[in-house]
Structure 1
Amino acid sequence: MNLGRFRTLRLSGFVNGVALLVWDCRRDNNSYFALWNPATREFKVVRPRRPRSDRKRHGDIIALGFDPKSNNFKVIRSINYEDVTGRLLCICKYELYSLNKDTWKSIENPLPRIEIASSADFCGRYFNGVSYWSCISLEAPHSYMILSFDFSSEVLKVHDPPVALDYTQYCCVTKYMDSLAFIYGENDDASNLCVISVMSGIDVDNQGFPSSWKYLFTIRPFSLGSPFSFHALLMDGHMLFTINVDHRMESIL
């Protein structure tokens, strides 16, 4: 692979021993991805379904998942273009790639107008066959929601988070220990804190989305005045976050 042709190359998921690599190509202004199995050294480059438009594209999500019912790896991606005036259309098109069939298909989008809350969230968080993203409703009152995609049923849904949040706050969906977790920050003159809730139940009739959450703990003081993402629970018990500070990503423990 000649990295000189690419703007970026990033790891956007690792599921059941298979990695999803994503990059943008300078030559044709398209986004590409590849599936890589480090153990077997298999590497498959997947071309996009359609050429990228000359119009600017905003907020693509791309996520790798595994469908245990069909024993198949799948990749979901969204495309959202600006119009000729530069206004964001916010009417996403969703596409699904099947490794077994080596084909793309369109996914029905019954969702309200939303956008992914942070660029750190575009690859989502994969948990038990479902990928999750934190997103913001573009309709008033512009509150946070959780987007989910079930790789077996191939259904997109949006759900309310465990607490109501507006766009002035920051949150992320992630994995903590062996559970799905929702982390959010509150910043005001009185307090800086980070609250963590974990999933305590799954509604199997609702495409795997948590039917209930359990409050876990609060970290204080913890300044979250900018977008952040939880990355890992380290072996010594510390929690690793990255935050966007003056357009620079910094890690904190």
Structure 2
Amino acid sequence: MGDNVEDLVLWNPATRESKVLPQIKQGRRYDSVCFHFDFGIDPNTNDYKVVRIVDFYGCQQPQFEVYNLSTDCWRVIDRSLSKVYKIVSPRFPSYLNGFHHWKAIEICMKARRRGWMFPEHGPTRRFIVSFDLSNEEFLETLLPTVACVFGFIREDIAVINDSVSLIVEYCDTGNLDINWFDIWVMSSEIGVERTWTKKFKVEGSGLDFDG
């Protein structure tokens, strides 16, 4: 799928077929905005869908838009998030069993009133937003409390062994060639509050976990 918001193309590498998606009607223009795109299949209807998130960097709630391949048109999801979040695009595939997952950050109201929009500016709430492609509803899951010790670099979500996982990357400040990763796995029981378990620690010299 192309990255240009004005010219989106779906491409099937197996059949080498491509399809130009209809342009998205633009509403009010904003100076600070970015777009996130994801693609997946609705397991109930076998219809392919593209999700576009319009992210206003914490100035207002994100807007979610969905394209259906069967109808060849875009729709704004009326049940978009009602709170003000900043969406973080994953570096790795995050679609699993009809759900897309994104890491999200809610910045505290005190920080937002001061015009601060990023996590380093004030207390935040870290969680995963999961979007059900079938019901087009959202589910929030708090992220685990990780050790943000000196040497913490970043964290990201990914699908590992058919489980939604959180990868936390650290670096030994005394020896910058030594890295390690804590990998947390989210439970997936239907109807049960989802929890996190730290499953693995991977360490070595010069490790790189880029997608």
TM-score (norm 2): 0.74
Structure ranking higher on relative contact order (CA contacts 8 Å, 6+ apart):
2
Cα distance per residue 1:22-65 (max 9 Å; x no partner) = 232xxxxx433222222223211112321376533523111101
Unaligned residue ranges in structure 1 (runs of 5+): 1-20, 25-29, 83-87, 224-238, 243-250
Q: What is the identity, as a one-letter code, of the residue corresponding to 1:77?
A: R
Does residue 199 of structure 2 align to residue 216 of structure 1?
yes
CA contact (8 A) 2:158 2:164 kept: yes
CA contact (8 A) 1:59 1:122 kept: no
Separation of aligned partners in 1, 2:198 and 2:10: 36
Q: Secondary structure at the match of 1:100?
A: coil
Aligned to 2:209: 241
TM-score (norm 1): 0.63
1:123, distance to aligned residue in structure 2 (A)? 7.9
* Residue in structure 2 matching 1:204, options 173, 185, 190: 190
Q: RMSD of the TM alignment (CA)?
A: 3.2
Unaligned residue ranges in structure 2 (runs of 5+): 110-122
Aligned to 1:116: 87
In structure 2, relative to structure 1, the CA distance for the partners of 1:112 and 1:73 (3 Å cut) is same
Q: What is the identity, as a one-letter code, of the residue corresponding to 1:102?
A: D
Aligned to 1:105: 75
Aligned to 1:71: 46
| Count of residues in correspondence between the two structures | 191
Q: Secondary structure at the match of 2:35?
A: coil
Separation of aligned partners in 2, 1:160 and 1:151: 20
Identity over aligned pairs, percent:
26
Q: Secondary structure at the match of 1:163?
A: coil
CA contact (8 A) 1:114 1:137 kept: yes
Aligned to 1:131: 100
Q: Secondary structure at the match of 2:199?
A: strand
In structure 2, relative to structure 1, the CA distance for the partners of 1:130 and 1:96 (3 Å cut) is same
Q: Secondary structure at the match of 2:108?
A: coil
1:169, distance to aligned residue in structure 2 (A)? 6.1
CA contact (8 A) 1:132 1:148 kept: yes
- More strand by percentage: 1
